[in-house]
Amino acid sequence: MALGAPRGQIVARFLKQGLFVSALGCIAGLALAAAFNQVLAGMLYGVSPSDGITLSAVILMVLLVTGTAYLLPSVRASRVDPMQVLRESRKWRRKRDSVVRKPLSPHQLLVLRFARFAEIAQSRNQV
């Protein structure tokens, strides 16, 4: 699955993971804002702590920034050839005795992570 996965599937998987964490953070933020409504009232000027438009705008902004932050690296990771990354990682594993080692780029790490998730999923489906 990982070696033959379409680019859109790779991007969608990483976006889904990132936005899920952000959504949980937004829900926690709303709960905290509701819990500390009276404390926040003294700190805000011209806006009530339970203003729906402001809270919605902040949540939308957080989700947009998070989506962009996950979208850019995941698109670049989807363009990397997985076989090339696997070959390079094997090459670096063989050179464990060398002192200086070039680390994998974040994009290569994302591809390796996706490949590992796919291997686990395939092994579960075959059992």
Tens-level pLDDT at each residue, the chain (127 residues) = 356 778 888 888 888 988 999 999 999 999 998 888 888 777 777 777 778 888 899 999 999 999 999 888 888 888 887 777 777 766 666 555 455 556 778 878 788 888 787 777 777 776 5
Rounded to 10 deg, the angle between the 7-35 and 52-78 helix axes is 150
- CA–CA distance from 28 to each of 33, 75, 97 (Å)? 9, 29, 47
pTM: 0.59
Structural domain contains residue 89:
yes
Structural domain contains residue 2:
no
Q: Which domain holds residue 51?
A: 7-126
Structural domain contains residue 35:
yes
Kindly provide the residue ranges of all beta strands, DSSP E only, lying in the chain, ordered along the sequence: none
Structural domain contains residue 40:
yes
- Hey, what are 103's tokens? 């680390």
Burial of 85 (0-12, 13-18, 19+ CB in 10 A): buried
Structural domain contains residue 1:
no
